[in-house]
Each structure stands twice: as structure tokens, then as C-alpha cells.
Amino acid sequence: MLSNEICPFDYIKVYDGGSDQDPIINTYCGQQRNLMVYSSGENLFVQFNTLKRTADSQNRGFSGWFEFSERFVNLGFIGKNDGQHIKGTECDQKILSRKESNGTVYSPNYPFLYHSNIVCKYYIYGLQDSQHLERVNIEFEKFEIPATD
């Protein structure tokens, strides 16, 4: 269960930085499998909150594995366009229209080699309201992705 749903009892809150004063990535409760959260910098703060209970609890809590690495995707490629890094993801970004606007998107580390075993998602949103219904067109100017290894 994620933060857009209610976590009325026990939960984990993850912050993109070294304290609870930094931006919240998300709040998690319920059952999660293979949940991966990435910081945008060198720190990640995880806060585990439980309610006081009068009866014995059978909740198991959580177990996680962490890794420090310089191999994670450098997010500098997002700054080349008008995208915003989606906090908590390795390299996902969202790009919002500014009314009939355009821009450029890049793969990680472009024009240099990209790392293997990554997934970056690009969410590109046109305006959609009572006066606007934009569609999105993407044209790949350069495309060098091998078809096989």
C-alpha cells in the first residue's frame, strides 16, 4: 500500500536526504514485494513508525537490503531537458507540457555509453483540460541501441 492510500497503523516513511526534514519519497504500509527505492543523492532516511498496542502483535515488520554504489545512474541527463526526476526511482522522469512546447529527452549518460541492467521510464504529459487536449509526438533523432548482444 502506498502513500496515496491510507496507512493508519504502522508504516515506513522514506525521505530523499539525511533527515525527516528532507522531501518525502513515499510512505509504505501493507505488503510489498521487491520494493526498490533510490535516493537522488548520497543520503536516504527511513523512518519506521508503529502504534502503541494493548494486545500482542503478530506483525513481522520488514527486511531490506541496501547498497552504496557509484554505478547507479547519474541523474545529470535529466537536467538537459525540462524533465523532473521522480523521487524514489533510479532514473524515471516526468516531462510536463508548457502549452505547445517541445524539448529533448536523453538516455542516461548520453552521448556516452549507458549502463546495463537499468530501466528508465519517461512520462511525457500534454495539457488536458476543458480548453486543451494535446497529443505527444516523439521523434528519435539518434538511435543506437543494439538489437542483440
Mean pLDDT by 10 residues, the chain (149 residues): 63 88 89 82 84 70 74 69 81 83 83 82 82 77 71
* pLDDT at position 21: 95
Number of domains in the chain: 2
Structural domain harbouring 107: 73-138
Burial class for 78, CB neighbours closer than 10 Å (0-12, 13-18, 19+): buried
| Cα three-residue angle 57-58-59, rounded to 5 degrees | 95
For residue 17, being part of any structural domain is answered with yes
pLDDT for position 2: 45
Strand 84-85 and strand 45-49: the pairing is unpaired
pLDDT of residue 3: 41
pLDDT at position 5 is: 53
- In a 10 Å sphere around its CB, with 0-12 CB exposed, 13-18 middle and 19+ buried, how is residue 118 labelled? middle
For the beta carbon of residue 19, count every other beta carbon within 10 angstroms. Answer: 9
Residue 1 lies in a domain: no
Q: Say if pTM beats, i.e. exceeds, 0.75.
A: no
